[in-house]
Structure 1
Amino acid sequence: MRYFIYALPFVLAACATSGPGGGNVAIETTAGGQPLPGANCVVTTNAGRWNVITPASAPVGSANGDLRVLCNKAGYRASEVVYRPSTPTNSNVGIGIGGGSGHVGVGLGFGIPIGLGGGNYPSTITVEMNPQ
């Protein structure tokens, strides 16, 4: 039982490694602030390439390099957006003192982002298209 308690933080941390949206990014296109469906978009990361027609969702998975979205539609200029994954910035350090049964213990804990260098992509990307 004692060893299970030691392993519990690692088990819980492993469950928290997937990003928001389960690795899917919604792709939308607009023109003049209004929805513009039917644009052909190519979504690329270091992990792969996906062709979608807006509005759509691309299964990009975990953050892996820059996320590029290039969209084309007849009568509009090609538009591209590039997103760098947001990096976790919240690290925590905690110090505690505890005692019981005549023993006193001192502990030091750190909160470390699991995906070192990783991060997340936005859950929705809107590409603004301009008429030709």
Structure 2
Amino acid sequence: MRYISLLLPLVLTACATGNWGDGRVTVVTASNGQEFGGASCAVMNNVASWNVTTPGTLEIGRASGELRIICNKPGYRTSELRLPPYGQQSGSSMGVGLGGGSGGVGLGLGFSLPISSGGGSYPPRIVVNMYPL
């Protein structure tokens, strides 16, 4: 029984970890399939906002809600792109079992933890299409 108290924190830590990528996002702009630079873009999620001139790379970190990108450049219409994070996890599951010894006593424990990671990741390269006026 005393081993459960030693094992449980280790198992809970393993269930709560995830792969979030490196948090870097490159924003580029294109028109008719041709990439071009020099657009001013505002990038925002639930936690922060950034300004970038395309092509540009941002250190966004772990995803937090929808990523919204608004780009402007003279001679082009304002373009907006909204991206949900991918790989988002809504919870974790865990199970622990101990077999009985010669007495035939056993213990089983299983539950789901509603841990919202609030995470996932954004694509490492995002192309915002812009259209001439």
Q: Distance in 1 between matches of 2:94 and 2:6?
A: 23
Deviates more, 1:81-90 or 1:41-50: 81-90
Deviations 1:52-107 (A, max 9, x none): 11222222233333321001122221100112344425755758573334343242
Contact 2:63 2:122 in 1 (8 A): no
The structure richer in strand per residue is: 1
Contact 2:91 2:116 in 1 (8 A): no
Q: Distance in 2 between matches of 1:18 and 1:62?
A: 10
Secondary structure at 1:26's aligned position in 2?
strand
Matched with 1:5 is: 7
Matched with 2:60 is: 60
Contact 1:44 1:67 in 2 (8 A): yes
Contact 1:65 1:84 in 2 (8 A): yes
Root mean square deviation, CA, Å: 3.1
Contact 1:27 1:57 in 2 (8 A): yes
Q: 1:8 to 1:43 in 2, by over 3 A?
A: same
Matched with 1:125 is: 126
Q: Distance in 2 between matches of 1:10 and 1:95?
A: 10
Matched with 2:41 is: 41
Shift of 1:48: 1.7
Q: 1:36 to 1:99 in 2, by over 3 A?
A: farther
- Name the % identity: 41
Contact 2:66 2:82 in 1 (8 A): yes
Tell me the TM-score normalised to structure 1 length: 0.72
Q: Look up the equivalent residue of 2:116 and give its one-letter code.
A: G
Q: Unmatched 5+ residue regions in structure 1?
A: none
* Equivalent residues in 2 for 1:6-25, closer than 5 Å: 6-13=8-15, 16-17=17-18, 19-21=20-22, 23-25=23-25
Q: Look up the equivalent residue of 1:73 and give its one-letter code.
A: K
Q: Distance in 1 between matches of 2:73 and 2:19?
A: 33
Contact 1:66 1:82 in 2 (8 A): yes
Q: Distance in 1 between matches of 2:51 and 2:129?
A: 18
Contact 1:25 1:121 in 2 (8 A): no
